[in-house]
Amino acid sequence: MNIAGRIVAIAALLLIAVTAMAEEKRWVSSEGTALKAEASATSESVVDVLIGTEVTLVESGGRWLKVRTAAGKEGWVYAGRVSVTPPDGEVAASDGGIFGDSMKNSQITTAKADSARSIRGLSPETVKYAKSRGTPELVKKNLDVILARKVTAAELKAFLLEGHIGEYAQVQRGAK
């Protein structure tokens, strides 16, 4: 193949790759997700998006992705708040589990059955084991209190911000 033919082939491959990336789909997998004006958790919100919303990848900036909604709204979203597959059901218990509604329809890659069971409480096998080991009833009651705890969206955001976790990993202390 001559040089001109190679250049045309390379240009065609680049065009295909760019087109494929431009049409790459993602789905919002976290409650409370907002598209941001800039790739920062503290940036102004452009629009709130619901779990399951399909977005098109426009640009990748590491931990942040620039996306476009079907309505044409563009903004940056933390990569951990979207999934490469559409949501397919609830992970948490129907009452929201210990994380409130923030875990519903999440695309967490851990074993869904184990996660859901741990959110709802001890499995029957674990209860049987605890009884066989003589675990005090007070310990079980205290665990039940912890498992019944609901975390609000504001509490979850404060926790993530204070711990510099997820999209708040690069936020400076004192910023909100």
CB 49 within 8 A of CB 35: yes
Specify the residue for token string 């397919």.
88
pLDDT for residue 144 is more than 90:
no
- Residue 74 inside a domain? The answer is no
In which domain, by residue range, is 155 found?
Answer: 97-168
pLDDT of residue 37: 95
- Residue 86 inside a domain? The answer is no
pLDDT of residue 111: 41
Kindly report, residue by residue over 15-24, the tens digit of the pLDDT.
Answer: 666 555 557 9
- Residue 125 inside a domain? The answer is yes
pLDDT of residue 115: 43
Looking at per-residue pLDDT, the higher value among 151 and 36 belongs to 36
One-character DSSP codes across 30-45: STTEEEESSSSTTSPE
- Residue 129 inside a domain? The answer is yes
Beta bridge partners of 64: 61, 78
Kindly report, residue by residue over 80-134, the tens digit of the pLDDT.
Answer: 999 988 876 544 333 444 444 444 444 444 444 444 444 455 667 777 777 888 8
pLDDT of residue 145: 81
Distance, in Å, from the CA atom of 91 to the CA atom of 111, rounded to the nearest integer, reads: 10
Q: Domain count of the chain?
A: 1
- Residue 117 inside a domain? The answer is yes
CB 69 within 8 A of CB 42: no
Q: How confident is the model at residue 2 (pLDDT cuts 50, 70, 90)?
A: confident
Two tokens at 113?
């059955």
Kindly report, residue by residue over 48-90, the tens digit of the pLDDT.
Answer: 999 999 999 999 888 999 999 999 999 999 999 999 888 765 4
Distance, in Å, from the CA atom of 119 to the CA atom of 159, rounded to the nearest integer, reads: 19
- Residue 148 inside a domain? The answer is yes
Q: How confident is the model at residue 167 (pLDDT cuts 50, 70, 90)?
A: confident
pLDDT of residue 152: 85
- Residue 18 inside a domain? The answer is no
- Residue 133 inside a domain? The answer is yes
